Structure 1
Amino acid sequence: MSAFRIILLLAVAVQTPANARHLVKTSPVKTTIEWQPCSSTPFRHWFNDVPPPASLQCGYVEAPLNYQKTAKQATHSVRLALTRLPAIGPRKGSVVIIQGGPGRPGINPQLAEKEAALKLQKSYDIIGYDPRGVGQSIPKISCQQTGSEETLLPDENDISGIEQQARNIVDACIKQTGAEVVQHIGTHEAVNDLDTIRQALGERELTAVAYSYGTKVAELYAERFPKKTRALVLDGVVDLSDDYFTQRINQQRGLQQSFTHFSDYCEKNHSCQLSRESNKSVQTYHAMLRKLHSAPFVTQSGYEISSEDVVTLTRNLLPWRERWPELANALRKIDSGTADDQETGLIDENYSPYTDDARMVITCSDTARPNADRQMLRRQSQQINTAASFPNYLLLHEYPLDTCDFWPYPGKDKPHVPVPAAALPPLLFVAQRYDPITPYRNARQMSAAFNSPLITREGDGHTLALTGINRCVDEAVVNYLLMPKKSRHDRSCR
């Protein structure tokens, strides 16, 4: 996988300077949103070729670009894109869905349309939004290189070439997005944006469901705005006390564990070439990758499948146990040389250059350490890249610095153990025992720190609340959202 793709915790832009193109003049924050049908002309481009639900409504909320400036000092703002799926019955309020990422769009969030989730939608509007810099929000993060900036990808052993490419990407991010914007695009601002959304919705207190990286936003919100918090569900939990290096090491170890579990699944179900014996499984996987590295497979429709495509596909599907059958089938067909459009569709399923750009820029805005010792960063890069054995099919003697190692602005993240205010009501944490992206340990640490109950699903996977995957989890989540003051304890779901 490319050194510049970051996993945390997955429209063509006009290539002109972002400061001239994107920034919006500040106006007083509105107390209401001018909702319009998402099918109306101003919003049709939000949904590409998939028409939105007939009842879905769209709108914008303005927020300051820099929250540290007073209203008189501020000169620019951002526009956050929102959707609302109105409550089916008598309305009691709004539930805001905070997506993962960072960098993932969040408009029109998909919840289960039956049982527990439907019970929630009978009383609450479901609010989705694209975070600042993401999706349909304005300005939009872009790191797209054009003209002379474009270069051929360097060989994996060309360390200086890889690092020069990283520098070029950073320069393009700042040029295309704007230097002022990229300095106010991270999680610190996202937390304040969430409160701006709450105010614009007319809600006295926030009710929200957060997933993966979104739990980081929700946890910081709970710390920053305890009296404005009604109920927060956190599914796939980020540990606020972990620094970025620790997060990435833990993710790699978690992915390796999931690969081992997936290999066991393959052998039990005779669904792919991997076996339950861990070393043998990795060797078999590496043999396939080396073969594709030497000669990529070209499908009948002309799509070239490389070794990096297979690693990307594996990383993308491993975190969701429900998608293991698709992954197993794809690996078997790629290995046998019978892959077709179904497999290439899976490889490209979540790819968007702008989502990748947003993930990278937000991560760098949070975690960059411009003055850190370069040799220490190189050692950390090697530790991260070797923590999972299944992607490492090539013998590398040196590991390059990552894109964020060249980011010129210090990150605003401050790892810490939360100390919740007395006024903060109990939150609800949800975790799966073998979550590769946000390890189960995170949820135990944060639920204890926030003095809040933890719902544990015994199994593999990353995030599942309100998806219909597990009825026990969905019922517990909806019960909490409807009655957050009710006393609760930790519980387990199968």
Structure 2
Amino acid sequence: MLVIPLLASCTSIVEGDAKPGVTFEKRGPAGTVPAGLEKFYGQQLAWQDCAPFATTGTSKQAYGSKRDVECTRLEVPLDYTKPTGDTITIGVLRYKATGQKIGSLLTNPGGPGASGMASAAGMVGDYRKTDLAERFDLIGFDPRGIGASEPAVRCLSNAERDADRLDLDIDTSPAGIAQTEQENKAYADKCAAGTKFGAAMLANMGTRDVVKDMDVLRSALGDAKLSYVGYSYGTRIGTEYAETFPQNVRALVLDGAVDPTQDQLQSLVAQGAGFQKAFNEFIKWCQQEDDCPLTGDANTSFRELTTPLLQKPVDVGSRKLSYNDAITATIQALYSEQLWPLLLQGLNELKAGKGTMLLRLADAYFDRDDQGNYSTITDAFSAVHCVDDQRLTDKNALLETARQYKAAAPFLDDGNPPGAALDSCAFWPAPVSARTGPPKAEGIPPLLVISTTGDPATPYEAGVNLAKTLNSRLLTFEGVQHTVFLQGQPCVDAAGVKYLIDQTLPADGTRCAS
């Protein structure tokens, strides 16, 4: 790709007169600029109050409590192969550095589908406690099609999402499989129909396109090279960026890695094993409490408590707690030990025929606010996944994976025969656009990969494998949670902060413990 080298960027700032409450900044272009994209790389940004960028109760709360953040929109091509065609916008949030600034620190919380703007706003409190706050503007962005970015991918209405959570799809007979596949095809069709630009938007929702947006953002912010922290799926974004723009990498922290050596089915089984491991740790804690409802064989006890919901959900006011929601709530709580007391409360409520806490945990997973409004996280997850990962159409392989998953995570076995219904991606109205094969480390400076021994969602070995594949440094955290950097663990935070500021990696084999 032809690029235009730029040795430095200039900054112009205009406040006040043109638009009250808006600060216009032009800091780019900076670094290398692909030919034909100059107007995007050098665009002016209009910073303003973040309130208009809130799309859910969650983001309203996040932005409202952080008056020292500001937001803007970044214009990018819908299709990078057609830079003079339709454009879309990316929502961006900034907490400004308080001292001698190195540059910007971009972050992504994962998902895919989670709001990077809301996540960054939520990080400000912990971020202020580190030296990063003096040296970097903290930048959160909503990837294309997500949150405040426009247009947003929207497949189901709030009412349809509520109904979908009550649809168990447990019938694995041929007729049941056919019905499930019909529903999955209808969902894919609704995603195209409910999203501006339709299939064209869905075709350009992948990580391939997100990293190009990140490079435009890097330049518009005035940074010649990128500093970035990616969590969970955000590690895939970081890895893809490093492969696509190796010359533009300054420092990347990848925490909670997606395993580059596994295919989609292998990753699913590994994740099941990871959640079983975290569940076992929860049980050790639970059975030390006086009111733990899971006794004897915990897998059996958990199933006996939850599987009656398959036949009869529990009323929670005007809503119902389904089996799916009880499992989702449990998964949500296994992401962090801090949520274990809430899961214990929820399981005790379920034992008493109530479902308030479990439904609340499930709502948090799906990002549903108290007014019944959902964010786009679930729809965006599908949109990214369906163009990032190869289509799964081999029903024998699907059936075998379902069997392996039940074996890897026996606490999640609902007692029904495994099924092999094609998911919505098999009917997706856009092609797979991601690269195939493991990532390549040519031209990439050493990165910092952080992996947690008891991570349920992205198991420890995934981080080991990513660090090895990228020829980067691995930092091990001994704990039970999903991701750890900038979450109050001094050993991990000190190592990551030092790396980001002066690019000094921790010693090989460094381990931290809670």
TM-score normalised by structure 2 residue count: 0.82
- Counterpart CA distance in 2 for 1:56 and 1:28 is 26
- Cα 1:302–1:211 shift into 2, 3 Å: same
Distance in 1 of aligned mates of 2:256 and 2:385: 18
Give, in whole Å, the separation in 2 of the partners of 1:490 and 1:271.
Answer: 40
Using a 3 Å threshold, how does the CA distance of structure 1 residues 323 and 147 change in structure 2: closer, same or farther?
closer
Offset of 1:44 from its aligned partner?
5.5
Task: State whether structure 2 residue 374 is matched by structure 1 residue 328.
Answer: no
Matches within 5 A, 1:458-469: 458-468=478-488
Which residue type is aligned with residue 496 of structure 2? V
Question: Structure 2 matches for 1:72-471, cutoff 5 A?
Answer: 74-108=84-118, 109=120, 110-111=122-123, 113=125, 117-144=129-156, 153=167, 156-157=170-171, 158-177=176-195, 178-275=198-295, 280-299=297-316, 301-340=317-356, 342-352=357-367, 353=374, 354-369=376-391, 372-384=393-405, 387-396=408-417, 398-422=419-443, 424-468=444-488, 470-471=489-490
Q: 1:174 to 1:381 in 2, by over 3 A?
A: farther
Q: Tell me if 1:64 matches 2:38.
A: no
Query: What is the aligned residue count?
Result: 457
Deviates more, 1:260-269 or 1:42-51: 42-51
Matched residues in 2 for 1:27 and 1:81: separation? 20
CA deviations 1:395-423 (Å, max 9, x no partner) are 2253422222322444233443333124x
TM-score by length of 1: 0.85
Q: Is the CA contact (8 Å cut-off) linking 2:110 and 2:233 kept in structure 1?
A: yes
Structure 1 distance, partners of 2:460, 2:158, is 42
Q: Decide whether aligned partners of structure 1 residues 347 and 400 sit closer, same or farther in structure 2, where only a CA change above 3 A counts.
A: same
RMSD: 2.7
Q: Who is 2:45 aligned against?
A: 34
Give yes or no for contact 1:249–1:383 (8 Å, CA) kept in 2.
Answer: yes
Superposed CA deviations along residues 339-375 of structure 1, whole A, max 9, x for unmatched, are 54x54322312324521111011101111427x4444
Distance in 2 between the 1:127 and 1:291 partners?
45
Query: Shift of residue 153 of structure 1?
Result: 3.8
Tell me how far apart the structure 2 counterparts of residues 326 and 82 of structure 1 sit (CA, whole Å): 33
Question: Cα–Cα, structure 1 residues 400 and 203, in superposed 2: closer, same or farther, change >3 Å?
Answer: same
C-alpha change, 1:116 and 1:475, in structure 2 (3 Å) is farther
Asked if the contact 1:431–1:440 (Cα under 8 Å) also holds between the matched residues in 2, the reply is yes
Structure 1, 377-386 or 163-172: larger mean CA deviation: 377-386
Report the Cα distance in structure 2 between the residues aligned to 1:146 and 1:304, rounded to whole angstroms: 15
Compared CA separation, residues 387 and 414, structure 1 to 2 (3 A): farther
| 1:136-172 deviations in Å (ceiling 9; x for gaps) | 1012111126999999947521222111111110111
Percent identity, please.
30
Flag the 1:315–1:211 CA change in 2: closer, same or farther, 3 A: same
1:380 to 1:115, Cα distance in 2 relative to 1, 3 A: closer
Partner deviation per Cα, 1:419-472 (whole Å, 9 max, x = no partner): 3124x221111111011111111111111222221111112111011121x111
Aligned residue for 1:460, secondary structure, equals coil
Cα deviations across residues 256-285 of structure 1 (Å, max 9, x unaligned)?
Answer: 12112211211123352224x6xx111111
Q: 1:155 to 1:203 in 2, by over 3 A?
A: closer
Q: Does structure 1 retain, via aligned residues, the 8 Å contact 2:145–2:151?
A: yes
Deviation at 1:234? Answer: 0.5
User: 1:29 is paired with a residue of what secondary structure?
Assistant: helix
Instruction: Please list every run of at least 4 consecutive aligned residues from structure 1 whose deviation after the TM superposition is greater than 4 angstroms.
Output: 114-117, 145-152
Corresponding residue SS for 1:350: helix
3-state SS in 2 of match to 1:250: helix
